Structure 1
Amino acid sequence: MNPSSGNKGVNHLAQVLAGQSKKDHDRNSALVLDFGEIMDDYSLQTNTFSIPIPVEDYHVCRQLTLGKTGDILAKTQAVGSPGSGEHEHNVVSKLKDSLGKPCTGSIGVAASAQPDPPDPPQSNAGSGGPEGAHQHHVLIPEKMRRLKPGDRVLVAWVQSEAVVVDIICPAEDLKK
């Protein structure tokens, strides 16, 4: 037997194994990022998977569940009084404006408890009281809102599971 010709059976086995290895490599290096769209029923339609994925069969990153535009993201609170809305203020007169002139402000005096401002808060909601008691609400801006139908999204495929990473916006939004 000519050593350069090898054994036909061994050669065939080597080709099969090489082919399987290539298939495994191709499968493992397949597309891991994808684009998709949130459908009216909150299913996910991606560019590379033609069947809509039901909402219970994919995941989203936590920041995409915060709430709707204008919902309260956070409120002021006194230490030890979660959700109270209270915070301290002191009247001070040692502050100076940009021209060096004295100005007054408040910081540090205990404020009386006030009810939560209405949703959405109005300009004077929660204000009043002898100590200037008031509350601050940080509202969810449009750029941080939860997912909604029609959103174009970036999808990461983790093995066979789709995870919505973020909402895709046009680059023109940078000019706003």
Structure 2
Amino acid sequence: MEEQGLQYLAEAREATGLKIVTEVMDAASVELVAAYADILQIGARNMQNFHLLKAVGRCGKPVLLKRGIAATIAEWLHAAEYILNEGNYNVILCERGIRTFEEYTRNTLDLSAVGAIKHLSHLPVIVDPSHGTGKWRLVRPMAMAAVAAGADGLLIEVHPNPAEALSDGPQSLNPANFAALMEDVRELAAFLRRHSA
């Protein structure tokens, strides 16, 4: 929907107070997307689009950098360096699963990456168990495991009626399941003596 879609997101922000995180697909679109979004997302397919990484590095907005589907941890961190090198130090890394030989799940969620990033970098890392598994029934256990592994946040897809979602319905939680998960996450974070929102 291009700019009209961005305008709808801005309206939703005004109505709810929620911040907008949305994907930017190419360097030519960075200025437009940055005019509406609070955080620019670089999707897994663009993790190694170095012109785009440099452009978001210059835009002044925080960047959510998703791990490429076949990227090593070192390659992911090197991609972040392109953003940091342009003077933008507000980078959030997102583990969203990598491609392996496993076919039951959409991807293989690499939770060892959370500990590795915490050891190798100062950057915050969040986990996306929705894309990481592709199955809503696996979102809760993987979200809980991500919190236990030290993730700084979660990216979870929610839809009022996942069966009718135009995309990603099989990996989306309904609002009741999401609310129950957030309660469990808060309890786990408290048990682990970690802060949660």
Q: Of the two structures, which has the highest relative contact order with CA contacts closer than 8 Å and spacing of 6 or more?
A: 1
The structure number with the bigger radius of gyration is 1
- TM-score relative to the length of structure 1: 0.21
Structure number having the greater strand percentage? 1
- TM-score relative to the length of structure 2: 0.19
Structure number having the greater helix percentage? 2
